Structure 1
């Protein structure tokens, strides 16, 4: 019952925040308000009108109104994280900082209601911890997205390098090979290659476009690939093909070693999970009858 009351309370807060108040006030009775809510429910939403986007816009606006100043280093850090997460064109630094405040407030309200129902030192400590976790939640989600994206780039790199090596061996120069690979393959790395080609078509220097590719990806192997290509382009097509083949083989070996390492870690985790969950059950199954027999013997005596 308490959970239902708390959920209804949070729901009322969300409705009060995200439904336009001026439109609700213009309704003179409950019937018109219900019609208004139904229209909003069945109206097809565009990307800009989705609930998630409205939350982001709300958080960004409120943060700008607070006019909180942060250091330039911290601002650039969040800007770099958004770039690595491929969210620079969707979210701003102010939006992330606003979401940190918003999530901490919502968590504080939710846990605060629970703490008011059951007043104790433990609930007070839980309130503080939950508020801090709510504040850190957007950072964690952003870091998880960056990690997943970089892992995807790392997985795609060996195949892409091998394909580039084959196409350059067939007679295409490096940039023609990049265009060909973009036509026949799909993926996160291919999307970054397309962005690089678009920058070059708009007038950017090839070296600058390659450096920006490395910055957007934030993967060590891609950075090595960029510097290798920049050095090899001066040597001609043969130098590029040789460099691509060498790095493709090197990346494949790294991928194999990582796969072996993950396999070894998985076997250790499996052993400990069996030791914790399976062994006690097996012990009870084997020793249970013997223990029961011993107990019966003592009770009879």
Structure 2
């Protein structure tokens, strides 16, 4: 009887031990399966927002005609393609702002306790402002990009001239330029070379740079390069002349800005500096003069 009891208890303990071990393994396996399902399951953003965005993107893609699409794409390229934005993305952002701004300003007006006509007026102006805001942003980015390109231009031309003098061909000189610089003009020449590799004629690829960069100096430089290539003139000589002209124009712009400085300083001088100066200098004398007459 004792042996039977010992055998039964040993068997039960063994079964209990293995059930615990395999039970833990089963739980871990189930947890890993659940975690994998959780990882594979798309997030709320992907399940809800992405389909809505895709739907509206399809809608804007249909409504954007070829001419409108090309014009907007050129504006975005002139601004340097901020956030890798496409024309469809731009229209989508514009629509979101037109919806979002009036709601925010209406809530702000209600919290301030403004009247209904005033809230309506604020909401109307916010809608107009929201529709123009993306275009203003692109214009500002385009101007900043043009300014950066103008600062880089003279050094870029010098480096290109040195590379050509060293015996490199024009395409190899551009490759050398791209490897040494990472500015606006270098990125434009990089895109130009990519277009040439894809089969676009060099003339058209270079002309596209002048469309993406709104600079008279760049336009003159590209025209001179194309003219030298067409007529067989030494490109080094042309680039040296262009470098001299670019530096000369930069010096003239600096002199012009220096001449404008006194006129710009006139307004703060009259309305802010002179009044405070007169108060400090004449204030005590006027106070003493008033006290003398009161006595």
What is the TM-score normalised by the length of structure 2?
Answer: 0.73
Matching residue of 2:23: none
Q: Does 1:106 align with 2:104?
A: no
Separation (CA, whole Å) in 1 of partners of 2:294 and 2:76 = 71
Separation (CA, whole Å) in 1 of partners of 2:56 and 2:261 = 46
Equivalent residue for 2:167, pick from 165, 171, 194: 171
Deviates more, 1:210-219 or 1:221-230: 210-219
Deviates more, 1:192-201 or 1:125-134: 125-134
Offset of residue 68 of structure 1:
8.4
SS at match of 1:95: helix
Matching residue of 1:93: 87
Q: Deviations over 1:274-300 (max 9, x none)?
A: 222111111111221122123323433
Offset of residue 85 of structure 1:
1.7
Q: How has the CA–CA distance of structure 1 residues 228 and 67 changed in structure 2, closer, same or farther, with 3 Å as cutoff?
A: closer
Pairwise CA RMSD: 3.1
Q: Does 1:299 align with 2:290?
A: no
Offset of residue 61 of structure 1:
4.7
Q: How has the CA–CA distance of structure 1 residues 271 and 57 changed in structure 2, closer, same or farther, with 3 Å as cutoff?
A: farther
Q: Does 1:268 align with 2:259?
A: no
Q: Deviations over 1:39-62 (max 9, x none)?
A: 9xxxxxxxxx9xxxx999976754
Task: Please tell me whether the aligned partners of residues 182 and 190 of structure 1 are also in contact (alpha carbons under 8 angstroms).
Answer: yes
Equivalent residue for 2:214, pick from 209, 212, 218: 218
Matching residue of 1:257: 252
Equivalent residue for 1:241, pick from 236, 239, 260: 236
Q: Deviations over 1:207-241 (max 9, x none)?
A: 222122222223222222222111111344x5211
Separation (CA, whole Å) in 2 of partners of 1:88 and 1:243 = 34
Q: How has the CA–CA distance of structure 1 residues 215 and 269 changed in structure 2, closer, same or farther, with 3 Å as cutoff?
A: same
Matching residue of 2:176: 180
Q: How has the CA–CA distance of structure 1 residues 276 and 247 changed in structure 2, closer, same or farther, with 3 Å as cutoff?
A: same
Task: Please tell me whether the aligned partners of residues 59 and 95 of structure 1 are also in contact (alpha carbons under 8 angstroms).
Answer: no
SS at match of 2:234: helix
Deviates more, 1:256-265 or 1:211-220: 211-220
Instruction: Extract unaligned runs of 5+ from structure 1.
Output: 1-38, 40-48
SS at match of 1:218: coil
Matching residue of 1:126: 122
Offset of residue 81 of structure 1:
0.2
SS at match of 1:256: helix
Equivalent residue for 1:277, pick from 255, 272, 293: 272
Separation (CA, whole Å) in 2 of partners of 1:172 and 1:137 = 46
Task: Please tell me whether the aligned partners of residues 57 and 95 of structure 1 are also in contact (alpha carbons under 8 angstroms).
Answer: no
Separation (CA, whole Å) in 1 of partners of 2:92 and 2:271 = 43
Instruction: Extract unaligned runs of 5+ from structure 2.
Output: 1-37, 39-44
